[in-house]
């Protein structure tokens, strides 16, 4: 394979991915495959503020408000030997200009494969989307949620993942038992839609870009660059052997205000080092499978930049479904439609797409619940499930 420099300049980046990004970097493997690592230079306002990051750093370090990483003991709480537990770890450079979030979520994806009876290709698609959601939601406000929807025309029939800052995540694919095929063929073309919401916001934030590649992380990386004008490097992948996920995770490198050229140069070198250490086509699953933890990935990416840990969380599957939501959905139908369903089926039955739980209510239960229901089912503020 032709030898390449550690990174290519902006002209090469634009040529390969056709994004209107100036003064950027694209990393490339020493082999013939272009990696999914794109490091985009800043084009606009970034969603993270220095005050919110200082707040994270203070929470992670206790009352002192700073985290000392000079000794191994200071990082002991973040270590995750052989990636036994799922983990989202975040850290920041000493000058506060670069944030790194790294994730391993093998256990989470295995649980979801069982719950949804997923085959390898849908599991790969959902795993990548979940990992991206977990990393993008890291550091958000309390109660804020982030939803990624891949509205695609491929046989996978769409992908949805929802996460919050606590690492509570859920998701599903339209065709969980899809046969073996390339991921980009399964996804097809369409749109990446990101929705961010908070109970105190008058309206949710919506952003959308087109699906160009179908490998999830590159498309979401393009969304971040185009729609949110964020300077970042994003990679997410899984390794699935039959019905078992052996590795799932990724990392997100974000340029924050104040980053100088020396810092960006060092980040580019560190990214190239990580690519070389992984040595595979589904970065960073080789590293994760070999036991390299999110902390160690962050240490590689922030090498020479005085890494300061921010926080760690253990992601977990959390579904919000309950019978109240079924009643709410029924109340959005006309009484005639509800009567028709009850007359034909003699019950109401629905399955949650996120967790697979089936809710079944008899005709008497449905009529009783609907008679006692209050508020407008079309308004979220009137709907407060217990």
Tens digit of each residue's pLDDT (9 = 90 or more) over 305-356: 999 999 999 999 999 999 888 898 899 999 999 999 999 999 999 999 999 9
DSSP assignment letter at 47: S
Q: Taking a C-beta distance cutoff of 8 angstroms, is the pair 320, 328 a contact?
A: no
Q: Which tokens hold the place of 120?
A: 């390898």
Residue 284 CA: distances (Å) to CA of 43, 255, 276, 293 = 27, 20, 10, 11
The confidence band for 382, taking pLDDT boundaries of 50, 70 and 90, is low
Half-sphere exposure at residue 157, Cβ-oriented, CA atoms within 13 angstroms? 8
The 10 Å Cβ neighbour count of residue 38 is 27
User: Range with the lowest mean pLDDT among 16-25, 82-91, 117-126, 221-230?
Assistant: 16-25
Query: Do 167 and 313 contact (CB within 8 A), yes or no?
Result: yes
Q: Could you tell me the two tokens for 244? A: 């078992």
pLDDT tops 60 at residue 28 = no
Strand partners, 240: 245
d(CA 351, CA 372): 23
Task: Please answer whether residues 48 and 254 qualify as being in contact, where contact means their C-beta atoms are separated by less than 8 angstroms.
Answer: yes
Residue of 122, 81, 127 whose CA lies nearest to 246 = 127
62-82 mean pLDDT: 67
Q: Is the pLDDT of residue 69 over 50?
A: no
**70 has pLDDT over 50:** no
What's residue 192's pLDDT?
A: 98
Share of the chain above pLDDT 90, in %: 73
Residues 6 or more apart whose Cβ sits within 8 Å of residue 364: none
- Higher-confidence position of 383 and 253: 253
- pLDDT at 240 > cutoff 90: yes
What is residue 5's predicted lDDT score, i.e. its pLDDT? 35
Give the strands of the sheet with 159-164, arranged side by side. Answer: 205-211, 190-197, 145-152, 159-164, 168-173, 316-317
Question: Distance (Å, rounded) from C-alpha 239 to C-alpha 29?
Answer: 19
Between 35 and 107, residue with greater pLDDT: 107
Token pair 């975040």 in the structure block, residue: 90
Identify the weakest region by mean pLDDT among 59-73, 99-113, 205-219: 59-73
Enter the pTM of the model.
0.81
Record the tokens describing residue 85, joined without a space.
């537990």
Measured CA to CA, the distance from residue 192 to residue 123 in angstroms comes to 18
Residue-level pLDDT at 45: 32
The C-alpha atoms of residue 327 and residue 78 are separated, in whole angstroms, by 43
Q: What is the pLDDT of residue 221?
A: 97
Quick check: 137 pLDDT over 70? yes
pLDDT at 40: 38
101: tokens are 């979030």
pLDDT in tens, 170-198: 999 999 999 999 999 999 999 999 999 99
Judged by average pLDDT, the poorest of 162-171, 180-189, 366-375 is 366-375
Element (H, E) at 248: strand 244-255
Of residues 368 and 73, the one with the higher pLDDT is 368
């Amino acid at each position: 394979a032709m030898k390449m420099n550690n990174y290519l300049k902006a002209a090469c980046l634009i040529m390969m991915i056709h994004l209107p990004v100036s003064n950027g970097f694209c990393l490339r493997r020493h082999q013939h495959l272009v990696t999914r690592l794109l490091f985009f230079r800043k084009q606009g306002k970034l969603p993270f503020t220095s005050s919110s990051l200082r707040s994270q750093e203070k929470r992670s370090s206790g009352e002192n408000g700073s985290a000392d990483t000079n000794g191994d003991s200071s990082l002991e709480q973040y270590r995750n030997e052989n990636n036994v537990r799922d983990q989202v770890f975040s850290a920041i450079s000493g000058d506060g200009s670069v944030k790194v979030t790294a994730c391993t979520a093998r256990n989470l994806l295995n649980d979801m494969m069982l719950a949804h009876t997923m085959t390898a290709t849908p599991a790969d698609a959902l795993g990548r989307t979940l990992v991206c959601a977990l990393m993008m939601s890291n550091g958000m406000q309390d109660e804020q949620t982030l939803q990624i929807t891949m509205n695609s025309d491929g046989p996978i029939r769409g992908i949805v993942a929802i996460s919050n800052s606590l690492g509570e995540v859920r998701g599903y694919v339209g065709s969980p038992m899809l046969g073996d095929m390339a991921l980009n063929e399964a996804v097809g073309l369409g749109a990446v839609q990101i929705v961010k919401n908070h109970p105190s916001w008058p309206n949710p934030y919506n952003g959308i870009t087109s699906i160009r590649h179908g490998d999830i992380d590159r498309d979401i990386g393009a969304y971040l660059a185009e729609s949110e004008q964020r300077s970042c490097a994003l990679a997410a992948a899984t390794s699935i052997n039959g019905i078992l996920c052996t590795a799932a995770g990724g990392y997100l490198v974000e340029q924050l205000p104040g980053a100088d050229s020396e810092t960006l140069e060092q980040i580019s070198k560190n990214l190239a080092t990580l690519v070389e250490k992984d040595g595979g086509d589904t970065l960073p699953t080789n590293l994760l499978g070999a036991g390299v933890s999110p902390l160690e990935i962050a240490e590689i990416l922030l090498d020479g930049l005085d890494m300061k840990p921010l926080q760690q969380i253990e992601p977990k599957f959390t579904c919000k479904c309950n019978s109240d939501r079924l009643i709410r959905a029924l109340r959005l139908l006309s009484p005639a439609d509800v009567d028709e369903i009850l007359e034909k089926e003699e019950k109401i039955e629905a399955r949650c797409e996120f967790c697979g739980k089936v809710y079944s209510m008899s005709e008497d239960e449905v009529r009783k619940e609907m008679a006692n229901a209050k508020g407008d089912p079309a308004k979220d503020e009137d709907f407060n499930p217990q």
